[in-house]
Structure 1
Amino acid sequence: MTAVDRDLDLVRRSARELARKFDLDYWREKDRKAEYPWEFVRAFADAGWLGSMIPKKYGGLGLGLTEAAIMLSEVAASGAGASGASAIHFYIFPPGPVLRHGSEEMKRAYLPKIAEGELLLAFGVTEPGAGVDTSRITTRAKKTDGGWVVNGQKVWITNAQNAKRILLLARTSPRRDDKPLDGMTLFFTDLDRERITVREIEKAGRSAVDSNELFIDNLEVRDDEVVGDVGRGFYYLLDGLNPERIVVGMEQLGLGRAALELAVKYASERVVFGRPIGKNQAVAHPLADSWIRLEGAELMGMKAAGLFDARKPCGPEANAAKFLGSEAGFEACDRAMQTHGGYAYAKEYHIERFWRESRLLKIAPVSQEMVLNYVSTKVLGLPKSY
């Protein structure tokens, strides 16, 4: 075992030990009450994990994507599921554009606060009329003396109930058919509730972490709150898409492992017709198949993360990691439902929570179909279909 392997093993063990201090009943209650898991976040902040990918000079640990992916996979696998993983995830990935393209003043002012868990962010990109076609967002920023005034609407914005600042994408020049992704600017500004109305969306899963609609009315933003160059905001977001897709896949396979662990225990103990149901191949084989698929998804996730950390192209691998992790994770949760039979609907068994949460990540942050579109055109060279 190499030194690198030993370090990753330490990351895995440390994250697992900390995450499992919060048991399944803790997460069931957070889900039932739709209550943000602040105790859990605080524990990970105190251990330094929120700043895992923030450089040491800004108060972080200075680790790579590989370590962050392992940590978040262990969080999900602990039984925290998507609620726990998302609560940590949104301290690690939304700051990416600030870290790569923000001014030095911006980095010094905010990255240490994020690493310490003092500053929670929201990420304002998605709009109800645009969907996955980000080039057609209609939120606009109009130039003023020394700043900008923003008006528009966003949807499915995580953390907006509690976030203090927002990374907000807006059009600063009209859309051009020849360059549809130009002319969007990324702002890092206060989530001013006098100018931004936040309405929570009631949803099926990941209830402990809020999702919201935002209505933006004459929000004033300073020039020094522009991330990078005006008009290049979408391209700055692209820098964060590959690492986020890798980690989402790793979180999802962790969620699948949590469900598989409970299903195996139940199949070993549940006796029907005088024998444990796990003795029946109709029960055992699907669970074995899920284990294989989860292991394969992790290999792709680790390959993609390794390429990213080595600063090598990883678009195909990142998309494949998201696809495989989401498919394998959901399938494991669905098979755990089948294994538990009618008891899967009882909240005391936790399976229904895993199932609800795993379904979300086949859609977000990018749908499986858009991953297949990417592979079809960018990897296989087929004609573009969208």
Structure 2
Amino acid sequence: MSATDEGDLELIRKTVRELSRKYDWEYWREKDKKHEYPWEFVKAFADGGWLGAMIPEEYGGIGLGLTEAGVMMQEIAGSGAGMSGGSAIHFYVFPPAPIVRHGSEEMKQRVLPKIASGELLMAFGVTEPTAGVDTSRITTKATKIDGGWVINGQKVWITNAQNAHKILLLARTSPRTEEKPLHGMTLFYADMDRSKITIREIDKLGRAAIDSNELFIDGLEVADADVVGEVDKGFYYLVDGLNPERTVVGLEGVGLGRAALDLASQYAKDRRVFDRPIGQNQAVAHPLADSWIRLEAAEMVAMNAARLFDENKACGPESAAAKFLGAEAGFEACDRALSTFGGYAYAKEYHVERLWREVRLLRNAPFSQEMVLNYVSNQVLKLPRAY
């Protein structure tokens, strides 16, 4: 489902903006400083029903489309929450997509209402240290046993693992072949069993309120009932969530960039040097104006990708472009905000340094800008594949 009326979208923007901004700049600065998960923020969105944005109504969600979910996530990132707030909500909205589309009816009834209510926090386990962006080469392996599977392997950059109850885990169930390298992987809805999974948090540059982790999996048992869809087809189920995630990451980048632009614009009006506001100087004003234009363009591309997805039309190139442009425009706006603040940009009280640290992630994740260009080169321009 997707609302086509701009008035409906504006109501979502207004409602989410008001809810998000109850948690001010100082709230996020403290969460970042103390590395504290923003549970109060998550609960507020759970109470408002927003965690189930893209979960169908019959499973406890509100059954919205990608357009509405994208608007919601853009407003969260743009409120000052950045990727700390964005990721806290993002992981309720998009990782469940394979279950929504391919899980058994029993699994949907068992799992989705708990995600929508915020009762259940799920991690998403795909990336591995030795595979990088070549998912076909993951080595985490699931071995069949009576009534289920035993999983062994390693994952990296897994968000939420410190607090998650469950993990949607991709593992090899058949050997890789050159003919079908992406076949033979299966998605498991598994317990985050700390007796079988060793979790090590990664100390990182930004988004400190949200944990990122290495996982070492040794003898994790998963029942047959917790296989998502069919065995060996897990990677193809992931694709259902990739285009929406890329689109929304682009919109989150736009939100972050606009938050930084607002801070920089106000500072440029208030800060006086040589008896004039620094914003009167074109060297300050023009980069900010240029960023506004680029953010507007990135938003338009992302909203078009969301529309195509909601209309069940192909949107791979558009989603990739949305991620690329949102990450670029968002980072550039944050970087220019740093330049506007000059030396004060390094002071945490002005907040732009946190936005800069958080938006930089979007150039690398969920996949790099170079991989976007590889994809477009091959799929759109029909050039020889480089990867």
1:148 aligns with 2:146: no
* 3-state SS, counterpart of residue 193 of structure 2: coil
Map Cα deviations across residues 333-373 of structure 1 (whole Å, 9 max, x no partner): 00000000000000000010000001111000010000000
Query: 1: distance between equivalents of 2:60 and 2:230?
Result: 26
Partner of 1:339: 340
Q: 1:118-267, aligned counterparts within 5 Å?
A: 118-267=119-268
Query: 2: distance between equivalents of 1:198 and 1:385?
Result: 35
Query: 1: distance between equivalents of 2:135 and 2:213?
Result: 18
Overall identity of the aligned pairs, in %: 72
Partner of 1:277: 278
1:19 aligns with 2:20: yes
How far did 1:3 drift?
Answer: 6.7
* 3-state SS, counterpart of residue 361 of structure 1: helix
Amino acid of the residue matched to residue 368 of structure 1?
Q
Q: In the comparison of the two structures, how many residue pairs are matched? A: 385
How far did 1:118 drift?
Answer: 0.5
* 3-state SS, counterpart of residue 384 of structure 2: coil
Query: 1: distance between equivalents of 2:122 and 2:279?
Result: 45
Partner of 1:327: 328
Query: 2: distance between equivalents of 1:229 and 1:56?
Result: 25
Partner of 2:368: 367
Query: 2: distance between equivalents of 1:93 and 1:176?
Result: 29
Query: 1: distance between equivalents of 2:386 and 2:52?
Result: 40
TM-score, structure 1 normalization: 0.99
Moved over 6 A (4+): none
Map Cα deviations across residues 152-171 of structure 1 (whole Å, 9 max, x no partner): 00000000000000000000
- Give unpaired runs (5+ residues) of structure 1: none
1:8 aligns with 2:20: no
Amino acid of the residue matched to residue 335 of structure 2?
D
1:94 aligns with 2:104: no
Query: 2: distance between equivalents of 1:363 and 1:134?
Result: 16
Map Cα deviations across residues 16-39 of structure 1 (whole Å, 9 max, x no partner): 010000000000000000100000
1:384 aligns with 2:382: no
Query: 2: distance between equivalents of 1:234 and 1:329?
Result: 30
Partner of 2:351: 350
* 3-state SS, counterpart of residue 381 of structure 1: coil
How far did 1:178 drift?
Answer: 1.0
Amino acid of the residue matched to residue 285 of structure 1?
H
How far did 1:55 drift?
Answer: 0.6
TM-score, structure 2 normalization: 0.99
Partner of 1:71: 72
Query: 2: distance between equivalents of 1:383 and 1:182?
Result: 22
Map Cα deviations across residues 185-221 of structure 1 (whole Å, 9 max, x no partner): 0000111110000110000100000000000000001
How far did 1:139 drift?
Answer: 0.3
* 3-state SS, counterpart of residue 220 of structure 1: strand
* 3-state SS, counterpart of residue 228 of structure 2: coil
Map Cα deviations across residues 250-293 of structure 1 (whole Å, 9 max, x no partner): 00110000000000000000000110000000000000000000
Partner of 1:47: 48
Query: 1: distance between equivalents of 2:142 and 2:53?
Result: 33
Provide the aligned C-alpha RMSD in A: 0.7
Amino acid of the residue matched to residue 219 of structure 2?
N
Amino acid of the residue matched to residue 37 of structure 1?
P
* 3-state SS, counterpart of residue 374 of structure 2: helix
Partner of 2:317: 316
Partner of 2:113: 112
* 3-state SS, counterpart of residue 129 of structure 1: coil
Map Cα deviations across residues 56-90 of structure 1 (whole Å, 9 max, x no partner): 11111111000000000000000000100000000
How far did 1:184 drift?
Answer: 0.3
How far did 1:385 drift?
Answer: 1.2
Query: 1: distance between equivalents of 2:109 and 2:216?
Result: 30
Map Cα deviations across residues 74-109 of structure 1 (whole Å, 9 max, x no partner): 000000001000000000011000000000000001
Amino acid of the residue matched to residue 259 of structure 2?
A
